[in-house]
A and B are shown apart, each in its own frame.
Chain A
Amino acid sequence: AQSVTQLDSQVPVFEEAPVELRCNYSSSVSVYLFWYVQYPNQGLQLLLKYLSGSTLVKGINGFEAEFNKSQTSFHLRKPSVHISDTAEYFCAVSEGQGGSEKLVFGKGTKLTVNP
Chain B
Amino acid sequence: KAGVTQTPRYLIKTRGQQVTLSCSPISGHRSVSWYQQTPGQGLQFLFEYFSETQRNKGNFPGRFSGRQFSNSRSEMNVSTLELGDSALYLCASSFDGFTGELFFGEGSRLTVL
A-side residues, CB < 8 A to B, are 32, 34, 36, 41-46, 49, 51, 90, 92, 94, 98-108
Contact = CB atoms under 8 A, between A and B. Distances in A.
B58 interface: yes
B22 interface: no
B112 interface: no
A102 B45 contact: yes
Interface string B74-113: 0000000000000000101010011111111111000000
Contacts of A101: 31, 33, 48, 56, 92, 94, 97-98, 100, 102
Interface in B11-36: 31, 33, 35
A83 to B, nearest CB: 22
Contact of A102 (B4, B33, B105, B106): B33
Given A32-B100, A98-B98, A103 B45 contact: yes
Contacts of A108: 42-43
Contacts of A36: 104
Interface string B49-63: 010000110100000
Given A32-B99, A98-B98, A101-B56, A43 B104 contact: yes
A94 B45 CA distance: 11
Contacts of A42: 106
Contacts of B35: 103, 105
Contacts of A107: 42
A30 B105 CA distance: 28
18 contacts: A34-B100, A43-B4, A44-B104, A46-B103, A49-B99, A90-B43, A99-B98, A100-B31, A100-B56, A101-B100, A102-B33, A102-B58, A103-B45, A103-B100, A103-B102, A105-B35, A105-B43, A106-B42
A57 to B, nearest CB: 12
Given A100-B48, A103-B100, A43 B43 contact: no
Nearest to A104: B45
A31 to B, nearest CB: 10
A97 to B, nearest CB: 10
Contacts of B31: 100-101
